[in-house]
């Protein structure tokens, strides 16, 4: 479409579908739509863009790209679209790692559990200007394929001596290495109790494996996870996890039953409980 007629068409589309667009794309403006359209030069691509918008497909999935922290990541329907609030986790983990590095006489080792697009692991490794050994796990092979692609394209952004490996496993099952830092944004929505709070667009398009845990298995899932974390974390190492505002206080009590100290629930920028942190205790 000619740029003038494309602009006219988009304006009319925006006005006609305003209510639907505002419901599915909170805060969307005509200007933003025009910006997104700049990624599509061919008629066929533009048509596909409008068709996807009419279905409510998240913009990130339409373009297969999402911004997180300092990079653009490839995303598809097999991975969660990385969220702004998760950037706090990267920031805090990077602060810890930078400080710890100064007192270490070995390479710092970290693991990202449930890596999805790889957004956390790759952003964190970029924040560290020293070589590290990192691991990223996910139970989904399809998600890991996306993470590996992102690693391929972002490899140049981190120390060439750093090593980032990927393994398909259930949380940390079978991982025998020990780490100075364990980060995770695991699935944390209770499939039944919490579902009503999930936006329709998230429910329809994002992978349920990345979002939900069955209510009946929820507490056991985190008990098993914390046990693995306890075993895999080196003394004085940090565990930093994103979680659900309704369950983090309970999970704080649970984590305290393992070998952790300084266990804290941390809020996000909107003032909601969003993260759980703990330091692995020293034995003596």
Ligand X SMILES: C[S@@+](CC[C@H](N)C(=O)[O-])C[C@H]1O[C@@H](n2cnc3c(N)ncnc32)[C@H](O)[C@@H]1O
| Residues contributing to the site for ligand X (CB under 6 A) | 79-80, 82, 86, 113-117, 119-120, 137-140, 143, 170-171, 185-187, 209-210
Instruction: Copy the structure tokens of residue 48.
Output: 């596909």
Would you say 18 or 217 has its CB closer to ligand X?
A: 217
Among left, alpha and beta (phi > 0; psi -120 to 50; other), residue 122 is alpha
Beta carbon of residue 245, minimum distance to ligand X (angstroms, whole number):
15
CB of 170 to ligand X, least distance (A): 4
CB 79 to ligand X: min, Å: 6
SS3 of the chain: helix, strand, coil, percent, to 5: 45, 20, 30
Question: Is residue 131 within 8 Å of residue 158, measured between CB atoms?
Answer: no
Q: Closest CB to ligand X among 171 and 252? A: 171
HSE-CB of 37 using CA atoms within 13 angstroms: 26
Between 37 and 210, CB nearer to ligand X: 210
CA 260 to chain centre: 24
Closest to ligand X by CB, 76 vs 98, is: 76
Parallel/antiparallel/unpaired status of strands 260-267 and 189-190: unpaired
Q: How far is the CB of 121 from ligand X (least distance, A)?
A: 8
């Amino acid at each position: 479409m000619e740029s003038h007629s494309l602009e006219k068409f988009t304006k009319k589309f925006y006005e006609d579908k305003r209510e639907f667009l505002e419901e599915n794309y909170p805060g969307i403006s005509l200007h933003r739509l025009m910006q997104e359209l700049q990624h599509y030069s061919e008629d066929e691509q533009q048509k596909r863009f409008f068709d996807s918008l009419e279905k409510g497909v998240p913009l990130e999935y339409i373009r297969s790209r999402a911004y997180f922290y300092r990079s653009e990541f490839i995303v598809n329907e097999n991975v969660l679209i990385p969220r702004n609030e998760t950037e706090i986790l990267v920031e805090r983990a990077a602060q810890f790692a930078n400080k710890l590095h100064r007192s270490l006489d070995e390479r710092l080792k970290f693991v990202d559990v449930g890596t999805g697009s790889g957004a956390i692991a790759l952003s964190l490794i970029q924040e560290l200007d020293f070589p590290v050994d990192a691991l990223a796990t996910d139970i989904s092979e399809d998600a890991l394929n996306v993470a590996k692609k992102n690693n391929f394209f972002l490899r140049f952004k981190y120390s060439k001596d750093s090593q980032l490996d990927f393994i398909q496993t259930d949380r940390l099952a079978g991982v025998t290495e020990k780490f100075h830092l364990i980060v995770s944004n695991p699935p944390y929505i209770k499939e039944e109790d919490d579902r009503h709070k999930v936006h329709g667009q998230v429910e329809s398009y994002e992978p349920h494996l990345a979002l939900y845990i069955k209510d009946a298995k929820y507490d056991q899932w985190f008990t098993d996870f914390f046990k693995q974390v306890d075993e895999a974390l080196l003394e004085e190492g940090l565990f930093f996890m994103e979680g659900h505002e309704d369950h983090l206080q309970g999970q704080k009590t649970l984590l305290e039953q393992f070998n952790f100290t300084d266990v804290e629930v941390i809020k996000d920028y909107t003032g909601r409980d969003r993260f759980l942190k703990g330091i692995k205790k020293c034995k003596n």
